[in-house]
Amino acid sequence: MLLHEKLKGYQLILASQSPRREMLMKQLGLQFDIIPLSIDESYPKELLLEQVPEYLAKKKAEPFVKNIQDKQIVVTSDTVVILYNELLGKPKNKKEAKKLLHKLSGQTHEVISGVCITTKHGQVSKSVSSKVSFKPLSDEEIDYYIEKFEPLDKAGAYGVQEWIGYVAIERIDGSYSNIVGLPTATIYEMLKEVAG
């Protein structure tokens, strides 16, 4: 039985403000409601960097845990970019975006998404990792991207699905949708399990 058939009778909720996560969920052929969610994205300093996205995905689910109804399923997710044991978050301004893109230029970095699925009967969570190799970027290319696109709402200051992804990415190891912001194959399997 296909997932959308298994989910009949359930209310699927995507708790996210990300238009990219919404688009990816739609491409799975699923009906869902969106609840925009904004949380404090701090995490314990002793946490390993690769554990941060799963920790934050669970943290995003906390507001739903108490009041979740029997036939509701809540999906939360967080994505981080890691380069040489440094977590590259969302840039606060264009100057910071430029600095981040200079760091990524000519390097291979890791993109990790944490996914959490919450129901009245419990919670399952997973992390998915992809590696992305950038060619060296010129100042002109970085400036063009920052001016023409929207790097400020993206971890690592770039969107793989935008111009920079087409001209700068030499190699991807792992899930492409994970780099966009939601590992769809993993979500699909997790939801199949939960809808059992």
User: Which residues are known catalytic residues?
Assistant: 78
Helix (H, G, I), strand (E, B) or coil at 114: strand
d(CA 151, CA 167): 15
d(CA 121, CA 7): 16
Q: How far is CA 17 from CA 20, 73, 110, 137, 149, in A?
A: 9, 17, 23, 30, 18
Q: What does residue 121 show for φ and ψ, rounded to 5 degrees?
A: -95, 5
Closest CA to 58 of 37, 73, 75: 75
d(CA 113, CA 24): 14
Residue with tokens 């699909």: 188
